[in-house]
Amino acid sequence: MIGRLNHVAIAVPDLEAASASYANTLGAKVSAPQPEPDHGVTVVFVELPNTKIELLHPLGADSPIAGFLAKNPAGGIHHVCYEVDDILAARDKLKAEGARVLGDGEPKIGAHGKPVLFLHPKDFFGTLVELEQV
């Protein structure tokens, strides 16, 4: 059901410093910051030959990333994102298998402009999983 790894998302306390580190120290291609108000984050994409790193920074006090950074002040891996061909079919299969879809269970448009869903980390060995339709 899942396809390729789309990205690994890392929550960071300082988006500018993290972007500079990936660009200058690691020599990666780094996008400009992109606010995503529907998700409460500002994102920066680090382009790699085989996938992306998504740097996440809170956008507003209600951001889920603010809560993550309160528990992990230095930042850290927040989630992994896998591609799926049909997000509704994937959701229905996962729910039938007992996996919990976060939120209201309906896909939202993610930072790449495609439908996404998140799966409860307790169902995937402590890892928050994002599914993105390609």
Q: What is the pLDDT of residue 91?
A: 98
β-strands 108-109, 76-84: how paired? Answer: unpaired
Which alpha helices (H) appear in 78-122, and where do they start and end?
A: 87-96
Nearest to 36 by CA among 133, 114, 125: 114
Give the catalytic positions in this structure: 130
Q: What is the pLDDT of residue 4?
A: 96
- pLDDT-flagged residues of the chain (< 70): none
SS3 81: strand
Exposed / middle / buried, residue 1 (Cβ in 10 Å: 0-12, 13-18, 19+): exposed
Say which CATH superfamily domain 5-133 falls into: 2,3-Dihydroxybiphenyl 1,2-Dioxygenase, domain 1 (3.10.180.10)
* pLDDT tens readout for residues 47-73: 999 999 999 999 988 899 999 999 999
Q: What is the pLDDT of residue 61?
A: 84
Model pTM score: 0.94
Report d(CA 111, CA 103) in Å as an integer. 17
